[in-house]
Amino acid sequence: IMNVGLGVMAVMAGMEAAAGRMGPGDVTAAVLIMISLYAPLNILGFAYREIRQSFIDMEQMLKVTRQRPAIADRPGAHDLPPSESGGAEVVFEHVGFRHDARASGLDDVSFVTAPGTTTALVGASGAGKSTIVKLALRLLDAQEGVVRIDGVDVRDATQASLRQRVALVPQDVALFNDTLRANIGFAKPESDEAAIWAAAEAAELATFIRSLPDGMETVVGERGLKLSGGERQRVGIARALLADPSLLILDEATSALDSRTEAAIQKTLRKVRAGRTTLVVAHRLSTISDAQQILVLKDGRVIERGRHDDLIAREGEYASLWRRQTRTGVRAAV
């Protein structure tokens, strides 16, 4: 529009000059005046677009604030009692969950994880491993059956007490652009310096922290950009240990690491799992061969369960996955 206006102004000024009613100076002044109007008009147009977009964004924000969470505490919900043995008993009783009409989630899944033991979940993508984790964390509610922790239906427990009892170490640990102290202490903000250092020691991170010029005050960068993959995972482990959970969930915590770093992290995880109930989602079967119970899932159902040696001897789905990964590992080594 502005270019059209400038063109019309130039044509009209030219016609006036040809008729002798305007001189060259008048034409130049008219064009310069038109050009000088461009900057404020551009600013006005930009401001209008920004204000209009701000109103749209505000409406979207208000829609979010008006939404009620799908998962909320039931009336009369109570806190989970502390575990007497230090590790929680986790029970899935005929649990069923369907994400939508097209995709199946879980179908009649039942298992018991005894206090202080490790249960590993194995299966292809979409088999239902992550759904079990979300149900244990109560990020989802079972549509059929019940999930219990220490005998209490998780739907009858307050979410705050459940979060205090359960800790998650995911594949991609979320770190803030803050100090190591703040990132580890996020699990329990009221923790003192000694507790944070104890968690770092247990995660075998303390030596690395002491080698840094700023120590615990080192800023890790956005999403832990200044740390290596193994260091980020150790921060995540230290954060989980600081919470002192009775149920520790490891959701493919080392699958994105190289083999050397993974071996070091797995050594650390074996130490922290001792005496603590642990639920492990495993991609590499070699990392869960010492689990007290391995559940093999397929299409939302548990098709095999048992210890590593027993499952290998059955020559079933687990044995097939083991041989496939073993052959792949041998070829990679060669």
Structure tokens at 38: 């461009």
Which residue range(s) make up the domain with 54? 2-66
In a domain, 313, yes or no: yes
Structure tokens at 150: 């220490």
Q: Tell me the C-alpha distance between 320 and 327, whole Å.
A: 11
Same domain, 243 and 294: yes
Same domain, 49 and 144: no
Structure tokens at 22: 């305007």
Same domain, 172 and 319: yes
Same domain, 8 and 130: no
Same domain, 43 and 107: no
How long, in residues, is the chain? 334
* 143 phi, psi to nearest 5 deg: -85, -25
* The domain boundary residue, chosen from 33, 50, 66: 66
Same domain, 10 and 129: no
Q: Structural domain tally of the chain?
A: 2
Indicate the DSSP class of residue 35.
H
In a domain, 78, yes or no: no
In a domain, 241, yes or no: yes
CB of 115 closer than 8 Å to CB of 85: yes
Same domain, 12 and 152: no
Check residue 57 and give its pLDDT.
Answer: 92
Same domain, 59 and 107: no
Check residue 101 and give its pLDDT.
Answer: 57
Check residue 268 and give its pLDDT.
Answer: 77
Structure tokens at 243: 């919470």
Same domain, 42 and 164: no
In a domain, 81, yes or no: no
- Please state the pTM of the whole predicted model: 0.76
The per-residue pLDDT string of the chain (334 residues; one tens digit each, 9 = 90 and over) reads 666 777 777 788 778 777 777 777 777 777 777 777 777 877 888 888 899 999 999 999 999 888 888 888 889 899 988 877 768 899 999 999 988 755 668 999 999 999 989 999 998 888 889 999 999 999 999 999 999 999 999 999 999 999 888 999 888 888 999 999 999 999 888 889 999 999 998 888 888 999 999 999 999 998 888 888 888 888 988 998 898 888 999 888 776 666 777 777 777 788 777 778 999 998 888 888 889 999 999 989 999 999 999 999 999 999 999 998 887 553 443 3
**Gyration radius (Cα) of the chain, Å:** 30
In a domain, 75, yes or no: no
Check residue 264 and give its pLDDT.
Answer: 76
In a domain, 134, yes or no: yes
Check residue 334 and give its pLDDT.
Answer: 30
Concatenating the DSSP letter of every residue in 263-299 gives HHHHHHHHHHHTTSEEEEE-SSGGGGTT-SEEEEEET
Check residue 12 and give its pLDDT.
Answer: 80
Q: 92: how many CB neighbours lie within 10 A of its CB? A: 22
Same domain, 8 and 111: no
